[in-house]
Structure 1
Amino acid sequence: MKKVLLIAIGLVLVGCAEKKPLTPEEQWHGYCVSVGNAARSITLDRQNGIEQKQAIEHAGKIEDETTRKFIFEIIEHVYALPVDQIKADPEAIRDQLKQKYTEQCVATPHDKLPSYKSF
C-alpha cells in the first residue's frame, strides 16, 4: 500500500514540474501545425459546400498579416481543385493538404512568431 502511495505522489510531483519554455523553432513549428490544421478545416468546409466567397469573407477578419497570407493562399488552392478530386477520398485530401501546408510553413523564413489563434 505504501509503495502505491509513493508512486502516486511521485507521479503528481512529476506532473507539477515546470515546463521548459519553447524555443523559437518549437514555437514556429507549433504555429505551422496550426496553419496545416487550417488547411484541413478549409478543405472540409469546401467538401461541405461552403462557398469560396464565405471563406474569403471569414479570412478577411484575420488581423495578423502572416497568417492572413497563408490562409488566403490555402483558400485559393483548395477552391481551385476540382470538386471530384476534393470528394474522391475526403479524408486523404484533407490530410494531404494539412501536411503540405504545415511543411510549406515550416520552410518559410520568418523573423518573429505571428500573433495567432490555434485552428
Structure 2
Amino acid sequence: MMMKKVLLIALGLALVGCAEKKPLTPEEKWHGYCVSVGNAARSITLDRQNGIEQKQATEHAGKIEDKTTRKFIFEIIENVYAIPADQLKSDPEALREKLKQEYTDKCLATPHDKLPNYKLF
C-alpha cells in the first residue's frame, strides 16, 4: 500500500515537472535580457579586476552584432575601465554586485520596442 502511494506521488511530481510552460510576455523577456546585461557588467568588472586590458575587452565586444547589446556593453566597458584601480580592490565582490544591479536597473528603465537578438552572457 505504501509503495503505491510513493509511486502515485512520484508520478504526480513527474507530470507537474513536464507541464508545458507558458510563453514569456515581452516584458518578462525584456527583464531576462536586462538581467543578462547586469551579468555582463559583473563579468566585465571581474575581467578588469583579473587584469584583462581594456583593448582586449573592446576587441571581444566588437564581435557583438546586436546594436542594443553592443551599446550597453561598450558603455559598461568604458565605465568599468574608468574606475580607479584602488577602488577595484577595496571590496571587489561588492563592486561587481553594485555594477550588476546598476546596469540591470538601467536596462530595465530603457525604452524598447523589441527584444534584441542576443546570446546569454
* Fold-level similarity (TM above 0.5): yes
Which consecutive residues of structure 2, in runs of 5 or more, have no partner in the other structure?
none
CA deviation string 1:23-47 (max 9, x = no partner): 0000000000000000000000000
| Match for residue 43 of structure 1 among 42, 45, 51 | 45
Q: Give, as a single letter, the amino acid of the residue that structure 2 aligns with 1:63.
A: E
Question: Could you tell me how far 1:73 is from its partner in structure 2?
Answer: 0.3
Letter matched to residue 104 of structure 1: K
- Segments of 4+ moved more than 2 angstroms: none
Aligned to 1:23: 25
Give 1:91's aligned residue: 93
Aligned mate of 1:59, from 54, 58, 61? 61
Amino acid in the other structure paired with 1:24: P
Cα RMSD after superposing both structures: 0.4
Q: Distance in 1 between matches of 2:89 and 2:55?
A: 20
Q: Distance in 2 between matches of 1:20 and 1:98?
A: 28
TM value normalised by structure 2: 0.97
Distance in 1 (CA, whole Å) between partners of 2:86 and 2:104 is 24
Q: TM-score, normalised by structure 1?
A: 0.99
List per-residue Cα deviations over 1:3-60 (Å, max 9, x = no partner).
1110000000001100000000000000000000000000000000000011111000
Q: Secondary structure at the match of 1:80?
A: coil
**Distance in 2 (alpha carbons) for counterparts of 1:115 and 1:4:** 45
Alignment: residue pair count: 119
Deviation at 1:87, TM superposition (A): 1.2
